[in-house]
Amino acid sequence: MEQVKILIDLQEVMGQARRLDEEKQKVPLEVADLKSLFEEREASFLAAEQEFETLKQQRREKEREIEEERDKVERAKAKLMSIKTNKEYYAMLKEIEGTRRTNVAREEELLSLLVRYEEAEKRLAERKADLDEVSGKYRERRIDIDARMGSFDEDIGKLDARRRQVASKLDPSLVRRFEMIFERRDGLAVVAARNYSCTGCHMNIAPQLFNLLQREDRIHTCPNCNRVVYFEASEIEAAGE
Ligand SMILES: [Zn+2]
C-alpha cells in the first residue's frame, strides 16, 4: 500500500495544481467584456476628438481669412486718400465693396462653423466622461487581475515543488505512467476498488485480481480504464471486521 499512498498524495497535489491552472485560465476572461467596452469608448472619444480638432482648425482658418480681408479693406480705404483720378477712385471703391461682400459670406460660414464647433466640444466632453468612467474601472480590474495572476503563479510554483518532492519517492517510470493516466482520465488516476468493482469506471473487477489487490503491495491497474486501483473494504466488509 505504501506506493499507492504516495500515488494518492501525488494525485492530490497534481489535482490542486490543475484546478488552480484552470481558474487562472478563466481570470483574463473576466476582464474581456470590460476591455471591449473600454476600447469602444476609447474609439468614440478619439473620433470626437478628431472631429473637434478639425473644426477648431477650420474655425481658426476662417477667422484668419476674415481678419486678413478686413486689413485689406482698411489699407484700401487709406489708399483712397492718395488717389488722383476718379476712374482709379471708383475702381478702388468697387474692390472694397467686393471684399466686404465676400467677408459677409465668410462671417456667415464662420457662424455655422461655430455652431458645429460648440456641438463637437460638448460631444467631446461627454465622450471623455464616458471614457473616464470605464477606464477607471478597467484599470482597477487589471491591477486586481495582475495581483491574482501573480498569486496563482506563486501557488502553482509551490505545488509543483511539492509534486516533484512526492514523485521523487517513486520509480520515474511509474511516475510517467501515472502522469499519462492522470491526463487521459481527467485528473483521476488512482482509485479504490470496492465490492469487486473499480470506483473510477464502475466496471467489475475479476475476483482473482480483487484478491491480489488485497494481498499484494504491487501496482495493479483496472483492466477497463487503466487507472491504478487499490483495495478498499466496502462498508459491509468494514462493518463485519
Ligand atoms: Zn476502472
The alpha carbon of 195 and the centre of ligand 1 are apart by a number of angstroms equal to: 13
Q: Is the pLDDT of residue 187 over 70?
A: yes
The alpha carbon of 181 and the centre of ligand 1 are apart by a number of angstroms equal to: 11
Cα–Cα nearest to 221, from 234, 195, 203: 203
pLDDT score for 40 = 97
Greater model confidence, 234 or 34: 34
The alpha carbon of 149 and the centre of ligand 1 are apart by a number of angstroms equal to: 36
Lowest average pLDDT, out of 4-8, 61-65, 71-75, 150-154, goes to 71-75
Q: Is the pLDDT of residue 202 over 60?
A: yes
| Model confidence band, residue 154 (pLDDT cutoffs 50, 70, 90) | very high
120-148 pLDDT, tens digit per residue, is: 999 999 999 999 999 999 999 999 999 99
SS3 content of the chain, % helix, strand, coil (to 5): 80, 5, 15
CA distance 191 to 199: 6
The alpha carbon of 164 and the centre of ligand 1 are apart by a number of angstroms equal to: 26
Note whether 195 and 186 are within 8 A (CB).
no
Q: What's the chain's average pLDDT?
A: 93
The alpha carbon of 240 and the centre of ligand 1 are apart by a number of angstroms equal to: 26
The alpha carbon of 231 and the centre of ligand 1 are apart by a number of angstroms equal to: 13
Greater model confidence, 209 or 236: 209
The alpha carbon of 219 and the centre of ligand 1 are apart by a number of angstroms equal to: 14
**Distance between the two ends of the chain, CA-based, in angstroms?**
19
Beta strands in the chain (DSSP E): 190-194, 197-198, 220-221, 228-231
pLDDT score for 236 = 66
CA distance 205 to 208: 8
List CB contacts of 197: < 8 A, sequence separation 6 or more.
Answer: 203, 204, 205
| Residue that the C-alpha cell 474581456 belongs to | 32
pLDDT score for 238 = 65
12-70 pLDDT, tens digit per residue, is: 999 999 999 999 999 888 889 999 999 999 999 999 999 999 999 999 999 999 999 99
The alpha carbon of 210 and the centre of ligand 1 are apart by a number of angstroms equal to: 12
- Give the count of beta carbons closer than 10 Å to the beta carbon of residue 19: 12
The alpha carbon of 11 and the centre of ligand 1 are apart by a number of angstroms equal to: 16
| Model confidence band, residue 240 (pLDDT cutoffs 50, 70, 90) | low
The alpha carbon of 205 and the centre of ligand 1 are apart by a number of angstroms equal to: 8
The alpha carbon of 209 and the centre of ligand 1 are apart by a number of angstroms equal to: 12
CA distance 49 to 34: 22
The C-alpha cell at 69 is 480681408
The alpha carbon of 197 and the centre of ligand 1 are apart by a number of angstroms equal to: 8
Percent of the chain with pLDDT over 90: 77
The alpha carbon of 225 and the centre of ligand 1 are apart by a number of angstroms equal to: 4
- In a 10 Å sphere around its CB, with 0-12 CB exposed, 13-18 middle and 19+ buried, how is residue 147 labelled? exposed
The alpha carbon of 19 and the centre of ligand 1 are apart by a number of angstroms equal to: 23
The alpha carbon of 182 and the centre of ligand 1 are apart by a number of angstroms equal to: 13
